[in-house]
Amino acid sequence: MTTLSYHLLDVFTDRPFAGNPLAAVEDADGLSALEMQAIAREFNLSETVFLLEPRDPAHSARLRIFTPAAELPFAGHPTVGAAILLAETRAGDLLSRHGVAVALECALGVIRCEALRSRSGVTYAELTLPTTPETLEGAPSPETLAEALSLAPGDIGFGEHAPAIHAAGPAFVYAPIVSRAVLDRARPSSRFSAVIGRAAGVYLYTRETVAPESAIYARMLAHGLGIDEDPATGSAAAAFAAVAARFERPEDGEHELFIEQGYAMGRPSRITLRMTVEKGALARVAIGGQAVRVAEGRLL
């Protein structure tokens, strides 16, 4: 009987049973895409990552990432989780002393990650995107977006922030919301799919946060991924750099933002977003977070 090892991790958190749960299946080269999709449906988590032999032996692994309904070219929490898993299982001694570099191949390109274990024993990994996020046309009006989210038109927008579409892999509709209370009561209406179109979901965000050091509080209502809502969405957090650059116009230099997500689901998560601005434009985007392993087993 062929068996495959798997691990369950909670990503973008420093403790078990918070953050975004992830299944990571090792040595998955013998699986077809249909088998990977079936296994992802079996785990029924927001994403399952499959670790394969890299095409370039200088890299650590090749990743394929599946939601219960579709394969994704890139996703943040599977990439951060895979980097932490590989660093802990392959280079645990180095990890505690001075960190480990991990290079992961995915459909978006080669993702380079740095992993470091803290004194508390929890590992943090940060990945740098190979390109800066895209800005896409066709963002819905505040009135149309409000209808899709079961909100009032006045609930959409604050300051200079308006609906937008950006992508760092999957595309998301970004919906600025006036307050956390309004954001938490947002629900997809019968118009949701028609308004969202081909985007992977709506990323709702507000400046009203739980922790004072956080920049935004967010939710991601998914579309076509086989889940209703995601506890922590790394690819959406990465593309939020384009939102911040567009509407906040930060000065040149490096900026660090902390993003809260998952609170409405009872899975509090924290994502670190780093963005470098040069001559008024985004030059570099990185996201990071902690993860803890909570279970392991074998697929028969």
Q: State yes or no: is 137 an active-site residue.
A: no
- Per-residue pLDDT reduced to its tens digit, 189-214: 999 999 999 999 999 999 999 999 99
Residue extents of the structural domains in the chain: 4-130+290-299, 134-286
User: Dihedrals φ, ψ of 119, to 5°?
Assistant: -65, -25
Q: Find the angle CA(161)-CA(165)-CA(169) to the nearest 5 degrees.
A: 130
Strand 71-72 versus strand 47-52 pairing type? unpaired
Decide: 91 and 81 in contact? Cβ < 8 Å: no
Q: How many CB atoms lie within 10 A of CB 184?
A: 14
Q: Work out the pLDDT band at 1, boundaries 50, 70, 90.
A: low
pLDDT-derived band at 92, boundaries 50, 70, 90: confident
Which residue out of 26, 42, 47, 208 is catalytically annotated?
47
Q: Which CATH number fits domain 134-286: 3.40.50.720, 3.40.50.2300, 3.30.559.10, 3.10.310.10?
A: 3.10.310.10
Model confidence over 129-141: pLDDT tens digits? 999 999 999 999 9
> pLDDT above 90 covers what percent of the chain?
95
pLDDT of the residue at 94: 86
Residue bearing tokens 């062929």? 2
Of 3.40.50.300, 3.40.50.410, 3.10.310.10, 1.10.274.50, which CATH number belongs to 4-130+290-299? 3.10.310.10
State the chain's mean pLDDT as an integer.
97
Do the Cβ atoms of 64 and 32 come closer than 8 Å?
A: no
Name residue, tokens 């977003």: 273
Cα diameter, the chain: 60
Predicted confidence band at 58 (pLDDT cuts at 50, 70, 90)? very high
Quickly state the pLDDT bin for 257 (edges 50, 70, 90).
very high
pLDDT bin (cut points 50, 70, 90) of residue 119 is confident
Which pTM value belongs to this model? 0.96
Domains 4-130+290-299 and 134-286 share a fold: yes
